[in-house]
Amino acid sequence: MTNVAVVGSQWGDEGKGKIVDWLSERADIVVRFQGGHNAGHTLVIDGISYKLSLLPSGVVRKGKLAIIGNGVVIDPHALLAEIERLGEQGVKVTHENLRIADNATLILSLHRELDAIREDAASNSGTKIGTTRRGIGPAYEDKVGRRAIRVLDLANLETLPQKIDRILTHHNALRRGLDQPEIEFDTILQELTEVAERIVPFSEPVWRLLDKEKRKGSRILFEGAQGTMLDIDHGTYPFVTSSNTVAGQAAAGSGIGPGSVGYILGITKAYTTRVGEGPFPTEQDNEVGNFLGERGHEFGTVTGRKRRCGWFDATMVRQAVATNGITGIALTKLDVLDGLEEIKICTGYMLDGEKIDYLPASQGRQARVEPIYETLEGWKDTTVGARTWNELPAQAVKYVRHVEELIGAPVALLSTSPERDDTILVHDPFQD
């Protein structure tokens, strides 16, 4: 029996929600290991849509344990609001089905405010990153700066004042430099005390729980957010998120040894999308891009922002396969390509007259790369709802096989609609 880590292999929005939900039926525990409520998963179960941001996808399934790991930054008010929304849909979230790492960092209102202040200033100067303004980055900064307030601090209100003093010393000095009013101590104290009683019951050292469950032989599914090219180290810096999104973070962000993660599944869209600013070599700001966006309903789950769309970038995904150690991929949204006369795949880049086979780390060099395309014949017949290879048009099968060859990883699952059962299973990642 093996444990599975799910990561995005592009810029996020690859359709991880459906695949994680499909896999969670086979798992005992689902662990979210990085990011914050800037990520979003939409699950469609029996015709009902569930929109999740912080909660692991397994929380909507009875008998499964959902865990928010220490690598996640948690806005307690956003978390409680999400729990309430699920409750209105008939999903009850209690300590029985949700645990939160006691050493996870909290997002405060001051983080959200700072995020917005910086984005507004960057918009005026032309250096906008395109954050969701939810305070994710500033919270991670405080974590690394060793001044963060963590979940476990809510259980000890006597020591909370000195921790608030410490974080405000930093933030108020920063706000003075930005010509912003200082934050009152009582504002943060009230903000935390009003959620403490509701958050603390979910809290515990989840690394101990995971170690115990691993020894019992429980199947663990590690659920990533965003995508590899948004990784703070390996992505298109500085247009990235504030955490490590690669598979290696599954261990560090949940408190379990790296050897406990057996199969790494890379979720890969059959074309490419990106939200926000930053380089996008295969972007199609034309009729093709509009077609992909409309057919694929490419709008952000959390923000509603329209996604930029383009052809499949095999060079970038091959890089993600290497940096994650991807065992196999789940290829999603193949049905969006139905009806196209021809389909292009990026197989490399030209940079200053030289052919290269990777996306360079330099911002300047990323902006100058030009895609090298192969053109494949499209297909007229629909792939929507296909559940076996025999139901796919021959050209669609050819496309999938060529993608496998170009990225150096096999297809384990193939998704042909948002419905969870419209999935072709090639290899079950949970099998030994």
Residue 203 β-bridge partners: 100
Confidence class of residue 119 from pLDDT cuts 50, 70 and 90? confident
User: Which pLDDT does position 302 carry in this prediction?
Assistant: 61
Which of the residues are catalytic? 13, 41
Query: Model confidence over 15-31: pLDDT tens digits?
Result: 888 888 889 889 999 99
| pLDDT number for residue 126 | 58
Whether the predicted pLDDT of 350 surpasses 90: yes
Say what the alpha-carbon torsion angle 239, 243, 248, 253 is, to the nearest 10 degrees.
Answer: -170
Residue 246 and residue 260: Cα distance in Å, rounded? 16
**CB–CB of 58/65 below 8 Å?**
yes
Does the pLDDT at position 43 exceed 80? no
Tens of pLDDT, residues 321-342: 999 999 999 999 999 999 999 9
Q: Which of 177-181, 200-204, 417-421 has the highest mean pLDDT?
A: 200-204
Contacts of 303 (CB under 8 A, 6+ apart): 132, 275
Sort strands 308-310 and 272-274 into parallel, antiparallel or unpaired. antiparallel
